[in-house]
Each structure stands twice: as structure tokens, then as C-alpha cells.
Structure 1
């Protein structure tokens, strides 16, 4: 079990540099997109002021230039979304692996605990008969109910009964309000939805 944990920790060593690299690339792409949007805004303001004086050919040329800039910004934004999705998927995969490792580790602990308890109690048939007799004695004794906290229990029995490996379930992470946005509208979280 310790060997599995060591191998998994080695796999996790690559995660922070991966996230840092992708976050820096997203930041660079975001700066480029914002620069393009500023250029579009400046050109639009300049052309709107002179719209009546501008000939039709010049308007068409300006329209095509702005359209090309929007396409470039859109391409960069799609790249940002893909990088963010790649980061999310990688982190999610590691979280799921950790959850699985945790379940396996807890099952391993319960198995070892049960083996230890069986070794302490002995596995001879006479011991089994004694245990069966004590269970039937507990059933007939109305004062000691199995759910009664004052009822006599063997050492560590409360640990075994409180552990439920099926209680661990995988849950999707809720949207973090501090999560950065990945679109130019600054409102999208994780998934960017277009109308």
C-alpha cells in the first residue's frame, strides 16, 4: 500500500507545473484578446465618426478588417477554453484517482483490522461456538440491545460498525465564485455557452 501511495505522489509532482504552464498561457492569450478588442473598439469609434464621409469601398474594407480581428479573437478565446478544459479534466482525473485510492485504502484498513481481530479471537471451532452462544445470549437478554451504547461490545467493535466504504461517493465540484472567467464577457465559469 505504501508503494502505491509513493507512486501516486510521484504522479502528482507533475501537476503543479502543468497547471502553472497552462495558466500562464491562458493569461497570455487573454492579454492578446483584450488587445485585439481594444484595437477593434478604437477603430470602430474612429470609423463611426467619419461614417458619412467614408466611401462604400472603404466601409467594406473596414468591415472585413474588423471581421478578421473578431475571428482572430474568437480563435484565441477557443484556445483559452480548450486549455482551461484540459486543466480541469486533468485535475478532475487526479481527484477521482485520489477518491478511488482512498476507498481502496479504507477497505485495506478494515480488512487488516478484521484479520487482526480474528487472529486475537482465534479461529478454532470452539471459539466460534462461544461466539455463537454469546450472540444468542445477547438476543435473549432484553436489557442489552445491539443499538444500545451501554451494551457490552468487544474492543474496537464501534470502529467496525461506524465505517461504511459505500458512504464515499463521487460528487461534481460546485462552481467556485472565485474561479477565473475564461471568456471576454467575464461571466463564464468552466463552460462557455454561446447563444
Structure 2
């Protein structure tokens, strides 16, 4: 099994792993809310009892009141343990996604090294150097102007984690400042993207959702900026 096949097999299992961890987090949330509600009710009752005792002129704590305070303290310790479990689960989810990102970075580094060796070998032997490296760096596909593939899938492993994250839960992952941005939204690569057929397009790649696409366009496709330029040229 090649590295890319192994990575693909691992990344396909990632959403299920994350779903299980988020399901556990939701269960812990419910438990924590139950403990906190019970503890608040207990404390409210204890305070009310103390107020009544003070009003009655009896401020000497009895054994039942002391036990009441101990029970409230135990409930609070239980809540802290649940919160610690939540932190541990969130850290595991983060580490899981981070491991896949590092694995992908290693593959891309190896791929780049292979391309450099191929280019150097071509220079020594006098054979034409491959253009794949330039295509990878520019983000364009290798089929050439007009006939190149128009779509690609994002390579960011964080996109998979985002899809697996339940509503209302924010997985606070760090963003690589060196990762290139695309599209009018100036965001990193994610989901399916389409390439503008203008070779001089400043942006090159666009997210389907940002340009109103749901499937691969047929024939040539130009972004809004380049389409306007094309119309001006035809009008002259």
C-alpha cells in the first residue's frame, strides 16, 4: 500500500472517530449540567435554611447542616472531574486531527523532494523537466490551458474535522499561516474548487459555494472579474 493509499484509508476513518468523541462530549455535557443544577438547588436550600435559622436566633450549626455542606462540596468535586474528562476528550480530538495534518505534510514534502530529484535528473540528462512541480505550487492542474481539469478537492485535513463537528461546538484548531489562500473569500482550500480559464487570473481557484456552482462547469469557465474583462475585449 502506497503512502497516499494509507493516508486516504486513515482520513476516511477520521470522521467516525471524531463523531464518537463528540458523542461522549455531549454525554459529559448532560452529566455536568445535571450535577451543576443539583448542586445549585442544594446550595440555594442550604442558604435559605441558614437565613431562617438566623432569623430564629439559632446560629449554631447542627450536624445535618454540616453534612449538607459536605454533600454540596462533593457534588462540586464531581463536576470538576467531569470537566477534566471533557478537556481530555477535546485534546484527543485535536491530537487526532493534528496527526493527520502532519502525515499529509510529510507526504507533500516527500512528493516535492521527488519532483526536485526528477527535475535535477532531467537537467543532467538534457531531457525536458516535468512541469508538475510548477502546477503543484501554482495550484493549477496539469492538463494545460482550456483542457485542464476544472475542479479539485481540498487537501486540508481540517476540512474533514469541520464536517464532523456538531453544531454549536467549536474545535479550536490552529491555522497554518503559510497555507495559501484562494477565492474571493480569501480562505484556504476546502471542499470542491473550480479553476478560472484565464491564465492571467490573479486568484485562479474558487470555492464552488462562493461562485454559485454545484457541479463541475462544462466548457471554459471564467470568474466574475475575468468574465468582465473578456466581455470588454469582445466589445472592442
With the length of structure 1 as denominator, give the TM-score of the two structures. Answer: 0.59
Q: Distance in 2 between matches of 1:85 and 1:60?
A: 38
1:108 aligns with 2:114: yes
Q: Computing the radius of gyration over CA atoms, which structure comes out larger, 1 or 2?
A: 1
* Structure 2 portions without partners, runs of 5+: 54-60, 139-157, 159-166, 174-236
Q: Distance in 2 between matches of 1:113 and 1:181?
A: 43
Q: Could you give the per-residue CA deviations for residues 85-139 of structure 1, whole angstroms, max 9, x where no partner exists?
A: 11111111111111111111111122223333444449xxxxxxxxxxxxxxxxx
Q: Which of these residues, 75, 83, 86, is aligned with residue 80 of structure 1?
A: 86
Q: Distance in 2 between matches of 1:49 and 1:69?
A: 19
- Give the corresponding residue for 1:35: 34
1:81 Cα offset (Å) = 0.9
Q: Distance in 2 between matches of 1:7 and 1:35?
A: 43
* Structure 1 portions without partners, runs of 5+: 123-153, 164-172, 183-188, 191-195
Q: Distance in 2 between matches of 1:44 and 1:68?
A: 12
More strand as a share of residues: 2
Query: Which secondary structure state, in structure 2, belongs to the residue aligned with residue 14 of structure 1?
Result: helix
Q: Which of these residues, 59, 69, 76, is aligned with residue 63 of structure 1?
A: 69
1:179 Cα offset (Å) = 8.5
Q: Distance in 1 between matches of 2:170 and 2:108?
A: 32
More helix as a share of residues: 1
Would the alpha carbon gap of residues 181 and 155 (structure 1) be closer, same or farther in structure 2, given more than 3 Å must change? closer
Q: How does 1:131-170 map to 2 (within 5 A)?
A: 159=134
Would the alpha carbon gap of residues 14 and 96 (structure 1) be closer, same or farther in structure 2, given more than 3 Å must change? same
With the length of structure 2 as denominator, give the TM-score of the two structures. Answer: 0.50
Total equivalences in the alignment: 137
1:95 aligns with 2:94: no
Q: Distance in 1 between matches of 2:46 and 2:108?
A: 62
Query: Which secondary structure state, in structure 1, belongs to the residue aligned with residue 50 of structure 2?
Result: coil
Q: Distance in 2 between matches of 1:113 and 1:5?
A: 22
Q: Distance in 2 between matches of 1:95 and 1:114?
A: 29
